[in-house]
Every structure is written in C-alpha cells, then in structure tokens.
Homo-oligomer: A and B are copies of this chain.
Amino acid sequence: MKLSKYLINTLKESPKEATIISHKLLLRASMIKQHSSGIYIWLPLGFKVLKNIEKIIRENQEQIGCHELLMPTIQSADLWKKSGRYEDYGKEMLRIQDRHKNELLYGPTNEEVITDFFNDYVNSYKNLPKYLYHIQWKFRDEIRPRFGVMRGREFLMKDAYSFDLTKEDSFLTYKIFFKSYLKTFIDLGLQPIPVKAESGAIGGDLSHEFQILANTGESEIAYDSKLTSDNLLNLSFDEINSLYSASDDLIDKNKKDVVIGRGIEVGHIFYFGTKYSSPLKANVLTQEGKNVEVHMGSYGIGVSRLVGAVIEAYHDEKGITWPFKIAPFKINIIALEELIDNEEIKKLYLSLLKKYKDIIFDDRDISIGKKIKDSELIGIPWTIIAGKNFKEFNKLELVNRSNNQSITLSVSDLEKFDYEKNFY
C-alpha cells in the first residue's frame, strides 16, 4: 500500500474527548473517529485491526466445530418478554418501535434469538452437541459512554452458544471452549488470564472471565503465578481451574502467594443450563423418546473492545506496539525523498508485499522524521529506513517497534528476513 493513496491523518495532540491511552492513540493514529456518543466510524487502519482479530477468532471457533451463522441486529421484543429479561435490562436496552408500532430492540446479546431458533430447528439428541457462533454488532445504551471502543454503545462481539443433552455433556463442552479461548488469545499475541467469575445477568453456575494484564485495567485481579506460565495449554481444564484466581470483590485478601495485577476483561464464558431453554421451550427427544430441555452455554469475546484493550496492554510513550498478527500493516518502508523512486527500494517493497501482503511504502510528501513518528504511533511492527547509509553503503536500517532496537541490513538480507518469527 502506498501511503499517499491511503486514508490516514495522524494527530499530534489527542482530542479532548479521550481520557484513556487506548482512546487517545486510536484517535491520534486515525484508526477510529467518533460519529456520535459511543458510536464510532472505523477508519481503514482500525478496520484492518478489527478484521485481523476477527480472523483469528473465526479460525479458532472453526477448529472446535463451532459453525458460523448470523443473527440480525434488530430483534423482536416478544422473545425477551418470554425469557423475562425485557424489563430487567432496563435503559441499557435500545428499544424501538417500527411503523406498525411493533416493539423491536437493538440486540444487546443473543441468548433469546438463538434459543428460539434452535427450538425451531433441532429436535433430536442425534443432532447434539451443537455449537454455533456469530460475529455481530450489538448496542447497549450506556448512560455515559466513555473510554472509546472499550465502552462504546455500538460494539462488535463474537458470541458462541452451545447446546447439549445433559449437564455433564455441557460441562465437557464448556471445557472445550475454555481451552479454545486460551488458545485464541495466545494466537492473538496476548497473555490471557482465566479468572473465576460470577455469572451475573446471564445467569447460571459456572463462569470464567478472560482478562489481559494492563496497568490501566479496570479490575484488580489476583491469581496463581502458574496461570501465566508458558505451558498453560498443556494443563487440563481441571488443573487450570484448581489454580487460584479472582477479581475485585471476590479476591480473598488473606490469600498468600498470589500475584496481584490489573486486568481488562476481553472474554467471558458461561454455563447456564436450562435458564433459556426452559422458558423458550428448546427441547429435544432423547434416545428413549423423552422430551428434555437442552443444556446451554454462551461464550463471548468483545471484538471491538479487544482493539482498545490490546492498546492498553501494548503501547509506549511513542504510540501503539501491536502484536504482529493484529497489526494493520506488518512492515513500513520509509525512504529519503531522493530515494523514493529508487529501483532497488521499489523492488524490495514489491518482494515484501508479495510475501506479507500488508506492507506500507510511505511515499507521502512529508519529512522522514514525521514518517518515522507516524510509524511508531500507528505501531507497525517493523520499519525499514532507507537513509544516508543506503546512499553511501547500500545498507538500510530495520527497526523493531516492540523494543525500538535497530539493525543495519542489505536489501537481500531484508528480503530473506523472517519478520514474524523475529518480532519480540
């Protein structure tokens, strides 16, 4: 991508509306723009980040046999009356009347819709277990939207829902999703900490939050240090679940040998049994011909929230320091004005473009210093600088954004370099 053709307009100062670092950096890096309170436009750079996160989540859901469908954003109020949550949800639910005075709402979550759908669609134990997910925009009419995409009103979530014949089967499913969530966050380049949780408004009796550590995190968390070990994924669910973890009010202040930190919730999973299948009549026939209510779980990841959360965890005084897989572009090539049309540099750009696809060549008509600052602000993992060294010795500078260290390499070295493996 030649940057002169792209939509980018970085800001030196952050707009007053932003109070937390991720919000400031998203605005300054021209990744999002507020449309109205708690509602954002995702600019090309921010949209690419969102899509990169979606892709990794999607791959992990498919791996456990979870199938993607898509529920609408606008739901009928009827189902919520049946489940008993229509009044409970209070003013956070965006209630709508259509031209015929039918009561609709912008879905804040989808348990009702999926349970009703399942009820119409599956009716035998033979079709269980069934895992379904979707990635869709939701709306919660927060009284005071703030923190940018961390607590917006229109936000993107991945919700998965599981349907099992028995409580025991549902627990096995829960464990599959639990492990898949750990892997998903690790694939995203993050360090997830599973924290035992109360299940709150969704209801039920088994629940975990997935938190990522950030000094600016909204919750205090206390956890066994083994939860951040490299081999966490070799442990079974039961082994991991036996390790201590708690957040905020649930923390046992007398507990010793625990790490205390601050976290941001990026995922939440629930087993809630027949809480929805019972009022919404989602039954199946057993092998013996008995009609039973299915056992359900739900599994959420805040996709748009993750964009903010990752920045809270990955930034320095210069800007964002994206994990490689999430970064909107992987490599940025910056050259002195007199080198912008250099054939060797162009060749390098094209060969890297072929290999990594998401490569920028910053050909804008601005100073090289401003280009470097923008690259740091946006958080491109690698910057290749063709400066005086190139003119004199045919060498370029390669800068790693995660530690701001640089090495000097030739064009052919740069073509061979493994940018993904060598990051961090």
Contacts and interface: CB of A to CB of B under 8 A. Distances in A.
Contacts of A244: none
A154 B106 CA distance: 12
Contacts of A75: 35-36, 39
A169 interface: no
A424 interface: no
Given A9-B121, A96-B94, A43 B72 contact: no
Contact of A40 (B33, B72, B130): B72
A139 B40 CA distance: 18
A237 interface: no
A92 B100 CA distance: 11
A204 interface: no
Contacts of A65: 5
Interface in A25-50: 30, 33, 35-37, 39-44, 47, 50
B94 A69 contact: no
A225 to B, nearest CB: 39
A99 interface: yes
Count chain B CB atoms within 10 A of each CB in A41, A94, A365 and give the residue with the most: A41
A99 B141 contact: yes
A173 to B, nearest CB: 14
A73 interface: yes
Count chain B CB atoms within 10 A of each CB in A68, A91, A154 and give the residue with the most: A68
Count chain B CB atoms within 10 A of each CB in A50, A122, A137 and give the residue with the most: A137
B132 A35 contact: no
B96 A70 contact: no
A383 B80 CA distance: 43
Contacts of A96: 94, 96, 106
A74 B37 CA distance: 11
In the A-B complex, the 3 residue pairs with the smallest Cβ-Cβ separation, listed nearest first, are A36-B76, A42-B70, A91-B99
